[in-house]
Structure 1
Amino acid sequence: MHTLPRIAPAPIGNKGLWAAAAVLGLWAASLIYLLSYPFSLTDPLLYVFVLVQTHLYTGVFITAHDAIHGVVAPDRPRLNTAIGWVATALFAFNDYKVLSRKHHLHHQHSGTFDDPDYHEGNPAFLFWYYSFLKEYISVKQVLLMAVTYNLLKIVFPWENLVVFWMIPAILSTFQLFFFGTFLPHRGEHHNPPLNARSQTLNHIRAFFSCYFFGYHLEHHAYPYLPWWRLPRAREQTAKVVAD
């Protein structure tokens, strides 16, 4: 096991708030625009917009995740928590308190059977993805999504709701699972208690794959770093840990 460099927490100021505002604002603005966008399956832009909205949905979760670690507004814990609640609610009506508890368990027991994100004995991708969804999707969420869909359907076309609101939400769970759980935690690890690995150093690919969440070893080693500071941490660990 390599000894990772020491990276001390550094003041964030309002940068976490600006990052959260940018992600949540872009997600909301994009969704509002797309819910009234002329729907046509022959329009190539439709598929581009689905991918964009999926990425923004993932950013909503990453914002909630940073709030769980207290790095959206570290000097204002109540505001930090409030933003976390909003972001988790926007992400298919997740419960911030439940998500926070499970995520801290994930860090405490990473890559073990006490880890709520870990597979239930079958590490195959689809089985693990199913157990991941089962862990985080509740009946209450499904009901709230159904009620919200039927209310929004009064105003917006159902096709737009399905394609630009529901499908990106589902695809983002795949994105988060694949880049933030499956790839970093699959197989054997030799760096307990972190039990995580990072993707190859490439900031452009890391951002578009999952907001640098693929730099997962760094996240577990330095959980006090917001997502936008993980690239610098990855550059430092790359000097001692091979890709």
Structure 2
Amino acid sequence: MDTLISASNYLSTTPSIAAPHHAAFKASPTGGSAKRAKPKLAKDLIAPSYAWGLSYLIYAVSLYLGLGTVSFIVATSALTLIIKIPIILTATLLAGFGLSMLAQAGHEGMHGSMIPNKIISAVLGIGASSMVLTYFEVGFAMRHWAHHRFTNRMNDPDIHPSAHLTIWWQRVLFSRPLYNKIYFKNTIVMALGKPFKIDYSMSYSLKTQIAFARFNLIVAFGVFSAYSYVVYLNPLAGLFIIGLPHIAALIITSCQSYVDHAGLDADDLNNAYSRTSLLMTALSFGTNYHLEHHAYPHVPCYRLPRVHKLLLAANAIPNPQHVIVPSFWGAYKAVGKAYKPNQPKEDFNPFIIS
């Protein structure tokens, strides 16, 4: 059975790689120390956990369907409208974050970080993320390794599709449908056994990638059928449990690329944000520590808060005032910041375990 290529031997399996910058980095244009080493991580920070991984999935599903159900119950109750509206809005927003977490579960799964078994981790992630209509994790993952290798650089595949969206409301309304269209096309191409060439692809064999893509399409069709049946049986239930949370998730996930990277440069430990609000962590299960994820892509999201503390203790972040965002709503200011490549095509290998 194929497994994810380990972080320690990734470099030897990938052709034409520039000298890795994983051990140290230069100061960014915004200031900071000239050269700092990333601390080594203990094995307990790197190894995925069955308990934590399954807790992530249960929590995300409960947040989505549980709060969606609360919204439906309140909407169909005898409560007055002035009481119903704030409860429904709050429950819908929280259910949207649950859906966003399910999409992120696909990301964790394809990184092999959900649970210890890499293949099952990917399968669980694909299955969970398929609960988000129109989102296809395999199509996203086909480009994601290149995003890590070229973060905020000319060859970062996450930047160019939305480059024409420069106003915040355009990004909120249109970026997610735009990216999901690309991911769907990628998944179809992979499922047909005709993947296109990309600088750095997923660290699974082609046979496994094709199987993942076909599984993604099958599960997505099953989920769509189940949702359609719910709407057929009870349109109001479909609206409040499925429809409105998906609208909320569309807005939340449309902001994702920007709250992760917009307004930053391409230097290691300065190319992503660390959104440290406790509320953000509660609604993201640790995926909000995106700076830490890019520094150590092999670390499960539920351990990233501990990695954050380790980086702070080691004084390893050159510009903490620029990349650490303690405010929940303050993190969304990045939706209006410039998101464009700011350095030439050059890669580094973040997959090596320091």
Shorter-chain TM-score above 0.5: yes
Shift in alpha-carbon separation, 1:18–1:213, aligned structure 2, 3 A = closer
| Shift in Å, 1:45 | 2.4
Secondary structure in 2 matching 1:7: coil
Considering Cα pairs closer than 8 Å and 6+ residues apart, tell me whether 1 or 2 has the greater RCO. 2
1:151 aligns with 2:229: yes
Shift in alpha-carbon separation, 1:193–1:115, aligned structure 2, 3 A = farther
1:110 aligns with 2:187: no
| Shift in Å, 1:66 | 0.9
2:287 aligned residue (213, 231, 237): 213
Confirm or deny: 8 A CA contact 1:89 1:95 kept in the other structure.
Answer: yes
| Shift in Å, 1:222 | 0.9
| Shift in Å, 1:65 | 1.5
Identity %, equivalent residues: 17
Secondary structure in 2 matching 1:230: helix
1:123-138 counterparts in 2 under 5 A?
123-129=166-172, 130-137=174-181, 138=184
Name the CA distance, whole Å, in 2 between partners of 1:170 and 1:54.
7
| Shift in Å, 1:67 | 0.3
The corresponding residue for 1:233 is 307
The corresponding residue for 2:93 is 51
The residue identity in structure 1 corresponding to 2:128 is A
The corresponding residue for 1:86 is 127
| Shift in Å, 1:154 | 2.0
2:62 aligned residue (26, 29, 33): 26
The corresponding residue for 1:101 is 142
Shift in alpha-carbon separation, 1:7–1:124, aligned structure 2, 3 A = farther
The corresponding residue for 1:191 is 267
The residue identity in structure 2 corresponding to 1:181 is S
Secondary structure in 1 matching 2:250: helix
Confirm or deny: 8 A CA contact 1:109 1:193 kept in the other structure.
Answer: no
Name the CA distance, whole Å, in 2 between partners of 1:32 and 1:206.
19
| Shift in Å, 1:209 | 5.2
Count the aligned residue pairs. Answer: 237
Larger Rg: 2
Shift in alpha-carbon separation, 1:238–1:215, aligned structure 2, 3 A = same
Name the CA distance, whole Å, in 2 between partners of 1:91 and 1:193.
31
Name the CA distance, whole Å, in 2 between partners of 1:32 and 1:131.
24
Name the CA distance, whole Å, in 1 between partners of 2:272 and 2:72.
42
Name the CA distance, whole Å, in 1 between partners of 2:268 and 2:98.
32
Compute the TM-score of the two structures, normalised by the length of structure 1.
0.79
Name the CA distance, whole Å, in 1 between partners of 2:69 and 2:279.
27
| Shift in Å, 1:165 | 1.1
| Shift in Å, 1:8 | 4.5
The residue identity in structure 1 corresponding to 2:94 is V
Secondary structure in 1 matching 2:73: coil
Task: Give unpaired runs (5+ residues) of structure 1.
Answer: none
1:65 aligned residue (87, 104, 107): 107
Secondary structure in 1 matching 2:274: coil
